[in-house]
């Protein structure tokens, strides 16, 4: 029994904010980067007795650009290459037509009506009242023509200039298709519509976004059209009461679709100095450039996949990794540019459901040997969790229909009966024998339910996983390693792949649509001039004396061989606990203690060679029992007279009990813990011991390094020694993509010392599921300001706020709400209104920088190296008017470096480009866990670590529903309170 998945268009839209792959292996150690959505055509045979070839290919339509906020000016007009902006700004409201919320992206807005409540005086009675009209916030403009400090370097960026004829009119038509159908069928309808109705369409070759919008370079004959399109649809037997067709009959019939087309607007690209290019026009050109790749490739989000890019590679667990390319049209200082990049991600294998389950779930491995055995209730739950919402098609007959799995039947296949149209009871296994001549083999497995509304069942063995479905499950370490390897291209190789895409038959320059709309895309990467900022001089310790060091190596790393950490701590009361491990491994613990103590001493950290109690040895199962684990940890703490500074936990392997251990230690007991694996203890390399020592030192209150020339001496116009400044970072971590119940976790961190600014306290809160705006930001910022006040006996004179994890579509909403929350936090202190700078930090973008042929490095080094640390770009490829820049602050050891994109949305401190770039780059040298500059400004990195730690605190025993509707989400469960002992420490490092 089967039912067509007719509502694919509404239920299969991928979320662009959540990605589950690894976009490419790149250099820096920030290991939580995720992959851009990807998609690829990939077919697998089916091995259960059928001669089956997968001829049905899915072509999901393009994701629409996200909605804009009201009252925005869109992007600026194209500018000549290397055009540089002064500080002059222009504002003009966009027309209503330009602000179609379905067509605009806020990422390119020039002005937004964001609110800050204002107290105004009521003239009638002299009282102050809250003004109901809210004052708009204007996003920060670039304050100058870009920075000038540093050595110049010539670079390529993977942006390709797009030339267009501004006078070319584009006609926007709304299209409705009845009955509602899937995206791939919609595209088939559009294709046939163009082929059969050329005169009505004035001979145009329009482009289609796969949903409700058609753009044409020529006006159609009429502003309103109603057409009927007939498509052959393979149907087979949709209902059990329909008799089987004879083998010589075609399982085809023609389905009629009614198509209504209506003119919405006529737009062109004509602009002047005061009006930016309409966002709708940019969106139209974007759809034009995607038309040919969409027709010839498989599409996911903004990425395309094709066999010429290397096919797919199995990565185990029912997943394959697929290669493809990403493209997106962006407004830049040089004009409109197409950002094209290499992309890799994981998808479900298109194989039979039973084979898929065997690869995915251990207990299904021997299912072919135990055909007569049923699944236990727990096993059934696991199978249902894996298959729920998966799209499948059947192999016992030809069909182009897809079905969505809603669940599993209560009964096994053997016991399933169903009524036909006449109300007669039919046995499912007999039905398939009579109608298809097929004996169901796995009769003790449940069937797939493919309808919510009525009984529609499919035996698992007759179903195949549809290709092109993104793998949303958590990738294993082995899967992650394989996908990283696939995506790990050195700069020269990555650049060659991108150049090949631009020259290729399915790239954005292929097809006739560009000519129709008078578009020309350059096949040459944008050549630009960047700058290499000078590394700061660092302050280290040396036997109680300060030692200065300037990182001079090409990778800007430094070592501590003849130096100490800047501030070493003393750990006298500590303990060690072991979970699992062989006898040999356990016997090596004393050697580990001695060598760690020695390595700490070499680094200027005191770690007593004697633990407060003898090492404890526990079996691994203790980690799986939270109550027992808490009991063990409390005994250790009590043995140290409730004054334990550090607990080192050595584990045989990674275990989910790690989360319980951290939660119990940091909330119930109040001890700092450091975990490591026996596999690392077996090597006991000096580097491993040093890394462990640096983390321990930071967690218990020390710091690794400081800037030799403090910030007030480097940026004297903004900072002063006697006027302390706080650097804050904020991030939100969301639950797993398949989890539609758990809360999101927000974290805020703030620096507690000045001018060193290298020690941070944290606050974490749970909040509404997938809510990006930080709900308790005002409270968290207020608490951090309190801590700062206690530490320095005064409030910070300036607040520099780095916000991580925000997509371009949410920039302005986040600014509007979170800036107000920061101001509310400040208002709790009488008369306290410090100037605030609010900058968004973006990791997940597709801009890459490549060295030109002229090497920056000496001839002895490889020419295909990454750009050097300190490379900054703030012209040509950056926003036409807003205050943003790309900074690659780290050295790329593997793959191609990804520069971080910093976008200053609000700046009351009046930074110049040079000042803010120097600030961010210098801070990247102060990260406590390593002796090299990191890729991400530390406040944002610490916020990410703290948010991740907060997620571990969510009790894993809480029920996780996958069926509850978003509208009925329960109240968010609060995180447990941090223990007072560790609240001001960097325990999350």
Question: What is the DSSP track for 709-751?
Answer: S-HHHHSTTT-BTTB-EEEEEEEEEPPPTT-SSSPEEEEEEEE
Q: Do residues 181 and 9 touch, judged by C-beta distance below 8 A?
A: yes
Convert the pLDDT of each residue in 829-850 to its tens digit: 999 999 999 999 999 999 999 9
Q: Which CATH number applies to 353-466? A: 2.170.260.10
Convert the pLDDT of each residue in 933-963 to its tens digit: 999 999 999 999 999 999 999 865 444 444 4
CATH 3.40.50.2300 fits 568-700, yes or no: yes
Q: Which residues contact 614 (CB under 8 A, 6 or more apart)?
A: none
Query: Distance from CA of residue 415 to its chain's centroid?
Result: 45
Contacts by 438-441, CB closer than 8 A, 24 or more apart: 438/396, 438/462, 440/413, 441/48, 441/371
- SS3 for 577? strand
What parts of the chain have a pLDDT lower than 50? 1-133, 235-251, 858-862, 957-968
CA neighbours within 13 Å on the CB side: how many for 141? 16
Instruction: Tell me the Cα Rg of the chain.
Output: 30
3-state helix, strand, coil in the chain (%, to 5): 25, 25, 50
pLDDT of residue 248: 36
pTM value is 0.83
Burial class (CB in 10 A: 0-12, 13-18, 19+), 878: buried
Q: Do residues 38 and 300 touch, judged by C-beta distance below 8 A?
A: yes
pLDDT of residue 906: 98
Say which DSSP state 309 is in.
G
Q: Do residues 268 and 166 touch, judged by C-beta distance below 8 A?
A: yes
pLDDT of residue 956: 57
pLDDT of residue 238: 35
pLDDT of residue 864: 63
Domain ranges, ordered by start, for the chain: 353-466, 568-700, 706-957
**Superfamily in which the 706-957 domain is placed by CATH:** Ribonuclease H-like superfamily/Ribonuclease H (3.30.420.10)
Q: Tell me how far apart the alpha carbons of residues 297 and 50 are, in angstroms, rounded to a whole number.
A: 28
Neighbours of 747 (CB within 10 A): 27
CA neighbours within 13 Å on the CB side: how many for 609? 7
Question: What is the DSSP track for 119-137?
Answer: EEE-TTT--EEE-SSPPPP
pLDDT of residue 855: 53
Measure the CA angle with vertex 196, ends 190 and 198; round to 5°. Answer: 90
Nearest to 934 by CA among 943, 925, 946: 925
Q: Which residues contact 965 (CB under 8 A, 6 or more apart)?
A: none
């Amino acid at each position: 029994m089967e039912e067509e998945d007719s509502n694919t268009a509404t239920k299969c839209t991928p979320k662009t904010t959540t990605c589950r792959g690894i976009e490419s292996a790149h250099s820096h150690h920030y290991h939580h980067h995720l992959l851009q959505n990807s998609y690829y055509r990939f077919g697998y045979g089916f091995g259960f007795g059928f001669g089956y070839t997968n001829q049905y290919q899915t072509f999901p339509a393009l994701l629409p650009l996200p909605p804009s906020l009201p009252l925005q000016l869109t992007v600026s007009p194209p500018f000549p290459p290397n055009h540089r902006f002064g500080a002059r700004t222009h504002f003009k409201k966009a027309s209503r037509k330009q602000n179609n919320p379905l067509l605009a992206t806020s990422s390119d807005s020039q002005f937004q009506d964001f609110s800050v409540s204002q107290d105004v005086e009521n003239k009638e009675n002299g009282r102050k009242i809250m003004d109901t009209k809210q004052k708009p916030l204007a996003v920060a403009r670039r304050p100058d023509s870009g920075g000038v400090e540093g050595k110049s370097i010539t670079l390529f960026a993977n942006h390709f200039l797009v030339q267009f004829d501004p006078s070319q009119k584009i006609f926007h038509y709304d299209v409705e298709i009845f009955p509602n159908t899937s995206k791939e069928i919609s595209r088939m309808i559009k294709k046939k519509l163009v082929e059969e109705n050329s005169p009505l369409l004035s001979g145009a070759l329009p482009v289609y976004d796969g949903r409700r919008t058609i753009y044409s370079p020529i006006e159609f004959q009429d502003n309103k059209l109603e057409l009927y399109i007939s498509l052959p649809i393979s149907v087979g037997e949709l209902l059990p009461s329909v008799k089987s067709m004879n083998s010589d009959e075609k399982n085809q019939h023609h389905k009629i679709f009614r198509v209504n087309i209506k003119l919405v607007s006529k737009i062109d690209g004509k602009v002047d100095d005061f009006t930016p290019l309409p966002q709708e026009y940019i969106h139209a050109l974007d759809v034009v450039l995607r038309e040919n790749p969409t027709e010839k490739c498989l599409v996911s989000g903004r990425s395309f996949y094709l066999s010429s890019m290397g096919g797919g590679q199995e990565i185990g667990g029912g997943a394959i990794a697929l290669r493809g390319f990403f493209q997106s049209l962006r407004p830049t200082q040089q004009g409109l540019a197409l950002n094209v990049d290499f992309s890799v991600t994981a998808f479900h294998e298109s194989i039979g459901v039973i084979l898929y389950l065997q690869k995915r779930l251990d207990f299904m491995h021997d299912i072919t040997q135990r055909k007569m055995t049923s699944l236990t209730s727990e096993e059934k739950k696991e199978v249902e969790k894996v298959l729920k919402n998966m799209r499948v098609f059947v192999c016992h007959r030809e069909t182009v229909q897809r079905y969505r799995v809603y669940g599993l039947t209560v009964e096994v296949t053997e016991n399933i009966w169903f009524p036909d149209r006449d109300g007669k009871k039919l046995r499912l296994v007999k039905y398939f024998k009579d109608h298809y001549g097929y004996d169901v083999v796995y009769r003790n497995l449940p069937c797939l339910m493919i309808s919510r509304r009525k009984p529609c069942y499919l035996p698992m063995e007759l179903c195949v996983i549809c290709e092109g479905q993104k793998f949303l499950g958590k990738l294993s370490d082995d899967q992650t390693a394989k996908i990283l390897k696939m995506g790990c291209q050195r700069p020269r190789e990555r650049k060659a792949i991108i150049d090949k895409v631009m020259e290729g038959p399915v790239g954005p320059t292929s097809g006739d649509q560009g000519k129709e709309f008078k578009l020309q895309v350059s096949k040459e990467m944008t050549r630009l001039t960047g700058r290499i900022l000078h590394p700061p001089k660092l302050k280290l310790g040396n036997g109680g004396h300060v030692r200065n060091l300037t990182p001079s190596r090409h990778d800007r790393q430094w070592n501590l061989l003849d130096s100490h950490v800047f501030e070493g701590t003393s750990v006298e009361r500590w303990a060690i606990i072991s979970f699992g491990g062989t006898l040999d491994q356990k016997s090596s613990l004393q050697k580990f203690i001695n060598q760690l103590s020695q390595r700490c001493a070499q680094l200027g950290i005191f770690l007593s060679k004697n633990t407060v109690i003898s090492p404890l040895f526990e079996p691994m199962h203790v980690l799986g029992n939270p109550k027992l684990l808490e009991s063990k940890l409390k005994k250790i703490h009590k043995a140290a007279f409730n004054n334990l500074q550090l607990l080192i936990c050595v584990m045989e392997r990674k275990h989910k009990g790690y989360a319980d251990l951290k939660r119990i230690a940091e909330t119930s007991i109040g001890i700092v813990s450091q975990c490591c694996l026996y596999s690392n203890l077996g090597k006991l390399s000096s580097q491993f011991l040093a890394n462990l020592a640096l983390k321990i030192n930071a967690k218990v209150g020390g710091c690794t390094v400081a800037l030799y020339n403090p910030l007030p001496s480097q940026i004297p116009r903004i900072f002063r020694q006697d006027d302390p400044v706080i650097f804050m970072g904020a991030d939100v971590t969301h639950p797993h993509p398949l989890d539609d119940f758990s809360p999101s976790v927000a974290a805020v961190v703030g620096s507690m010392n000045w001018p060193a600014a290298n020690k941070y306290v944290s606050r974490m809160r749970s909040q509404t599921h997938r809510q990006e705006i930080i709900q308790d930001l005002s409270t968290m910022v207020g608490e951090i300001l309190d801590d700062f006040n206690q530490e320095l006996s005064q409030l910070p004179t300036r607040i520099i706020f780095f916000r991580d994890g925000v997509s371009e579509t949410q920039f302005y909403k986040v600014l509007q709400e979170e800036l107000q929350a920061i101001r509310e936090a400040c208002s709790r202190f009488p008369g306290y209104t410090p100037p605030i700078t609010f900058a968004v930090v973006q990791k997940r973008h597709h801009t890459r920088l490549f060295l030109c042929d002229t090497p920056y490095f000496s001839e002895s080094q490889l020419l295909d190296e990454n750009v050097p640390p300190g490379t900054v770009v703030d012209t040509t490829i950056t926003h036409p008017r807003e205050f943003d820049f790309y900074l690659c602050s780290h050295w790329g050891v593997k793959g191609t470096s990804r520069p971080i994109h910093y976008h200053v949305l609000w700046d009351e401190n009046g930074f110049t480009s040079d000042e803010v770039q120097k600030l961010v780059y210098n801070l990247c040298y102060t990260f406590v866990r390593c002796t090299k500059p990191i890729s991400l400004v530390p406040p944002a990195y610490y916020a990410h670590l703290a948010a991740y730690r907060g997620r571990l605190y969510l009790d894993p025993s809480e029920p996780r529903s996958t069926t509850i509707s978003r509208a009925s989400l329960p109240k968010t469960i609060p995180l447990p309170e941090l223990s007072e002992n560790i609240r001001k420490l960097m325990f999350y490092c």
